[in-house]
A and B are shown apart, each in its own frame.
Chain A
Amino acid sequence: MIDVSGVTKSYRTQNSEVFAVDNVQFEVRSGDFVMILGRSGCGKSTLLGMLAGLIRPTAGAIRLNGQEIWTLSEADRAGCRAKEIGFVFQFSGLIPTLTALENVMLPTLFLPNGAEGRLKARALLERVRMSDRADAYPMTLSSGEMKRVAIARALINDPSLIIADEPTGDLDVDTEYEIMELFKELNNQGTTIIMVTHNPELVPYATRTYRMDRGKVNTSEPF
Chain B
Amino acid sequence: MSNPPGLGFFRLVLSNITRRPQRNGATIIAFAIIAASLFSALYLTSGALQSLDAGMTRMGADILVVPEGYSAVAQTVILMGEPSSFFFNDSGFEQISKIPGVAKASPQIFIATLAGQACCSAPVQLIAIDPEHDFTVANWLKENPGVVMGKDDIIVGTMISGDIGSDLLFFGHTFHIVGRLAKTGMMGVDCAIFTRVDDAYVMADESSVKAVRKLTIPRGMVSAVLVKVDPATPPGTVATRIQAQIPGTKTITPNGLLSSVTGQLAAVTHLLYGSTLAVMILSVPLLGFISAMVANERKREVAIFRALGAKKSQVLHLMLAESFTLSVVGGLIGIAAAAVVLVSFQDFIAFSLKIPLNIPSPLTVMMNAGSALIICIGIGGIASLYPALMVNRMEPYETIRKGKP
- Whether A45 touches B309, Cβ cut-off 8 Å, given contacts A96-B19, A97-B19, A98-B12, is no
Q: With A and B bound together, what is the CA distance between A134 and B386 in angstroms?
A: 36
Tell me whether A130 is interfacial, beta carbon within 8 Å. Answer: no
Q: Chain B residues near A102 (CB, 8 Å)?
A: 7, 11-12, 15
Number of A-B contacts (CB under 8 A): 121
With A and B bound together, what is the CA distance between A48 and B401 in angstroms?
12
* Cα distance A148–B11 in the bound complex, in angstroms: 23
Answer whether residue B314 sits at the interface, using C-beta atoms and an 8 A cutoff: yes
Given A117-B3, A118-B4, are A52 and B405 neighbors across the interface (CB < 8 Å)?
no
Interface string of B285-320 (1 = CB under 8 A from A): 000000000000000010011111111111000000
Give a binary string over A115-137; 1 marks a CB under 8 Å from any B CB, 0 the rest.
11111110000000000000000
Question: In the complex the two chains form, what is the Cα distance from A120 to B7 in whole Å?
Answer: 12
CA distance A70 to B41 in the complex (A): 54
Q: Which of A26-34, A78-86, A199-207, A211-219 touches B?
A: A78-86
Q: Does A22 count as interface, using CB distance less than 8 angstroms? A: no
Interface assignment of B351: CB less than 8 Å from any CB of chain A: no
CB distance from A158 to the nearest CB of B (A): 13
User: Distance (Å) between the CB of A162 and the closest chain B CB?
Assistant: 12
Q: Which of A91, A92, A110, A157 is the one whose CB lies under 8 Å from B311?
A: A110
**Complex interface: chain B residues within 8 A of A115 (CB):** 5-8
Most buried by A among B8, B9, B305: B305
How far is A90 from B280 in the complex, measured between Cα atoms in Å? 43
**Is A54 positioned at the interface, with any CB of B under 8 Å from its CB?**
yes
Interface size class of chain B, counting residues whose CB lies under 8 Å from the partner chain: 35 or more
Q: What is the chain B residue whose CB lies nearest that of A85? A: B309
The answer to whether B3 and A91 have CB atoms under 8 Å apart is: no
- B314-A45 in contact (CB<8A): no
By beta carbon, the residue of chain A nearest B9 is: A109
CB B45 to nearest CB in A, in angstroms, measures 42
List of B residues within 8 angstroms of A138 by Cβ: 405
Q: List the one stretch of B54-62, B187-195, B332-340, B392-400 in contact with chain A.
A: B392-400
Q: Interface residue count for A (Cβ, 8 Å)?
A: 49
Residues A79 and B3 in contact, CB atoms below 8 Å apart = no
Contacts of B7 in A (CB 8 A): 98, 102, 105-106, 108-109, 115
Nearest Cβ distance between residue B324 and chain A, in whole angstroms?
Answer: 18
Contact indicator A93/B405 (Cβ below 8 Å)? yes
Q: Are B311 and A75 in contact (CB under 8 A)?
A: yes
Q: Which residue of A lies closest to B401 (CB)?
A: A45
The CA-CA distance from A110 to B9 in the complex, in Å, is 10
B19 surroundings in chain A (CB, below 8 A): 96-97
**How far does the Cβ of A130 sit from chain B's closest Cβ, in whole Å?**
16
A146 within 8 A of B: yes
Q: List chain B residues, Cβ under 8 A from A109.
A: 6-9, 12, 310, 314
Instruction: Verify A116–B397 contact, CB threshold 8 A.
Output: no
Among residues of B, the one whose C-beta sits closest to the C-beta of A153 is B308
Asked if B219 is at the interface of the complex by the 8 Å CB criterion, the answer is no
Known contacts A49-B398, A52-B307, A89-B401; 14 additional CB pairs below 8 A are A45-B397, A55-B398, A78-B310, A78-B312, A79-B311, A81-B308, A91-B400, A91-B405, A106-B12, A106-B308, A110-B305, A114-B6, A118-B4, A170-B405
Q: Which residues of A line the B interface, CB within 8 A? A: 45-46, 48-49, 52, 54-55, 74-75, 78-79, 81-83, 85, 87, 89-98, 102, 105-111, 114-121, 138, 143, 146, 153, 157, 165, 170
